[in-house]
A and B are shown apart, each in its own frame.
Chain A
Amino acid sequence: MHVTISQLSGIVAYEFRMHWRRRSLLVVTLAMTLITVVLAVVTAGEMGQDSMRQLVSQLDQEQGAHGIDVLTFTILFATWAPVGGALAFVLPVLVADTIPLDEQLRTRELLDSLPLAIGVYLAGKVAGVFMAAMTGIVFAAGATAISWWVFVGPYDLVSYLQMWLLGSGALIALNGSLAVLLAAGQPTRRRAALLIIMIWGVGVVALGSVLAGDSNLVAYLSPMRAPIIMRYTRFDAYSSTPVPFLSADTAQALAIGLIEVIIAALVVWSWMRRRAQRA
């Protein structure tokens, strides 16, 4: 057990390093941060911080809404659009090569000669991707939270960080893991990326049919994770409630996504085991 935990944490730690050193994660994190900061600057420039505060207090006084919640929602909406999009579409393509890279770099043969269980290898790879991506998210959340505060003014910081950590965390855990697992059988980075683009493409088509009202189930099955993605775009400005992450539909999307990840993990595990026995 001690050896298994040591191996698992070792894979996570080195996968973390390798992902950051390949730079693609760094570029996406910086892009998400930069876009959000620019949005904060542009919003402040458009409206001016004073007029923003005036608007918040006006809403408070005249319309009975909690102005701070309206402002928070505006910030969440503006931030979540690029972040949710990047995590839903771009991240899966970037991390798809996690396992194929061992084939492409020809480290697979050496790994196969080590006393390493397939389950530990897979769990380490998936957890490594999660840790690497979440580190970027924590950085981006902190940097952008400060930007909004400085350029636009006080808002509900808890809701903001909750969006970053829970919303992003859910997308990374589900879509990142699924991409790593689904692309496990590909021999090269390129083919892994193409496969994920293809699967995610089908996901978008499926989402399109959902938006047209065809099937609700597809919304939950689709890697678009529509209920999670849409979470911060639906808000009743006058209900004076902050934006909770967990609701019936996000919980359902999380549960279904988790089942998808577990099924994918079991299929990949059996396939790798079978491959080892038949090699």
Chain B
Amino acid sequence: MIEIHDLTKTYVGGVRALDGLDLEVGSGMFGLVGPNGAGKTTLMRILAGIIQPTSGTVRVFGHDLHTVAGRMAAKALLGYLPQDLGLYPNLTGREFLDYIAILKGITEAGERRRQIERLLEEVRLVDVADRKLKTYSGGMRRRIGVAQALLGDPKLLIVDEPTVGLDPEERVRFRNLLSEMAARCTIILSTHIVEDISHSCNDLAVISQGRALFRGAPADLIEQVRGHVWAITTAGERPAGDLMVVSTLQLQHGVQYRVLGAPASTDGALALEPSLEDGYIWLMRQRRGAA
């Protein structure tokens, strides 16, 4: 269980990344979604014990991250995949995993080997495990990143924007891997790609400007926009009304718009089943409207 209470982080220069955030995360896969600059990465880095909050409390499985001992204890339970993972180019994939396993405190060489082989299988890097990391493609680098995060069977896995830079096939594979992992540990998945959340998370929070705008199941977020999602086909002009265009599809004889809001006329407008992305955009739009 992760408990976050009144969490604030202000960087040098006065930029407030988190502004009194309250959140509780249980088991399974938890999605954290928000626009760029919402404070997601800051929250991830605080949870990973990399940076300190300005104020507020964070407890990871009962360990208070305010204390050095608490941070070290929490780190021992943690697997972390940063947004921009750096690797040692002159080490092989297997060596890199061994190095991280040692630093994670897996002292027994046989146990390290066993875990590394299992994870290499899971992320499908067995064939290239003895190649130097500088020869890895973007997808391979991401997968070795996932493997290192899973070393030591962490109780909490924090993954920050994990699918950025992956091709569609890799992305699906990665999501499936995380879903399998969710049965074994708590996963916090931070992303601005809503699709990643909709396919794997049973619980999510939307944060913006350092605050939680929504907290609940993906279905609840989708429910908020039900009745506001339309498909409108025109000769080319934008549909009239207080609408937000979500997507545009060029047809042979016109343009089909997927819009959120209330169209000026529902003639020719087709009500659509909302997606999580619709729910997210609707929420953000309302937030902007309120502001």
Chain A residues close to B by CB (< 8 Å)? 2-3, 6-7, 10-11, 14, 17-18, 21-22, 102, 105-117, 276-279
With both beta carbons as reference points, the residue of chain B lying nearest to A112 in the complex is identified as B50
* With A6-B107, A7-B102, A111-B103: A277-B87 Cβ-Cβ less than 8 Å: no
Chain B residues close to A by CB (< 8 Å)? 45, 48-52, 72-73, 75-76, 78, 80, 82, 84-91, 95, 99-100, 102-105, 107, 148
Complex contact A106–B85 (CB within 8 A) = yes
With both beta carbons as reference points, the residue of chain A lying nearest to B109 in the complex is identified as A6
Complex contact A10–B89 (CB within 8 A) = no
B interface SS class = loop
Complex contact A113–B78 (CB within 8 A) = yes
With both beta carbons as reference points, the residue of chain B lying nearest to A5 in the complex is identified as B107
What residues of A have a CB within 8 angstroms of the CB of B88 in the complex?
A: 14, 18, 105, 107
Give the complex CA separation of A110 and B97 in angstroms. Answer: 12
What residues of B have a CB within 8 angstroms of the CB of A21 in the complex?
A: 90-91
Tell me which of B45, B50, B80, B107 contacts A3 (CB under 8 A): B107
Complex contact A279–B50 (CB within 8 A) = yes
Complex contact B102–A6 (CB within 8 A) = yes
* With A6-B105, A10-B103: A112-B49 Cβ-Cβ less than 8 Å: yes
Tell me which of B73, B75, B90 contacts A113 (CB under 8 A): B75
Complex contact A115–B95 (CB within 8 A) = no
What residues of A have a CB within 8 angstroms of the CB of B87 in the complex?
A: 105, 107
Of all A-B residue pairs in the complex, the 3 with the closest CB atoms, nearest first, are A106-B86, A10-B102, A21-B90
Complex contact B85–A110 (CB within 8 A) = yes
Tell me which of A11, A111, A115, A279 contacts B51 (CB under 8 A): A279
Complex contact A114–B75 (CB within 8 A) = yes
Give the complex CA separation of A70 and B141 in angstroms. Answer: 59
Complex contact B90–A22 (CB within 8 A) = yes
Complex contact A2–B91 (CB within 8 A) = no
* With A10-B102, A17-B95, A279-B52: A105-B86 Cβ-Cβ less than 8 Å: yes
What residues of B have a CB within 8 angstroms of the CB of A108 in the complex?
A: 86
With both beta carbons as reference points, the residue of chain B lying nearest to A14 in the complex is identified as B99
Complex contact B48–A107 (CB within 8 A) = no
Tell me which of B51, B52, B76, B86 contacts A110 (CB under 8 A): B86
Tell me which of A7, A17, A105 contacts B103 (CB under 8 A): A7
Give the complex CA separation of A102 and B100 in angstroms. Answer: 14
Complex contact A14–B91 (CB within 8 A) = yes
With both beta carbons as reference points, the residue of chain B lying nearest to A114 in the complex is identified as B103
Give the complex CA separation of A111 and B91 in angstroms. Answer: 16
Give the complex CA separation of A117 and B71 in angstroms. Answer: 11
Give the complex CA separation of A112 and B85 in angstroms. Answer: 12
Report the minimal beta-carbon distance from B24 to chain A, rounded to whole angstroms: 22
Given A115-B76, A116-B103, A117-B72, 20 more A-B residue pairs with CB atoms under 8 Å apart are A3-B105, A10-B103, A14-B91, A14-B99, A22-B90, A102-B86, A105-B89, A106-B86, A109-B50, A109-B85, A110-B80, A110-B148, A112-B48, A112-B50, A113-B75, A115-B72, A115-B103, A277-B52, A279-B50, A279-B52
Give the complex CA separation of A96 and B103 in angstroms. Answer: 22
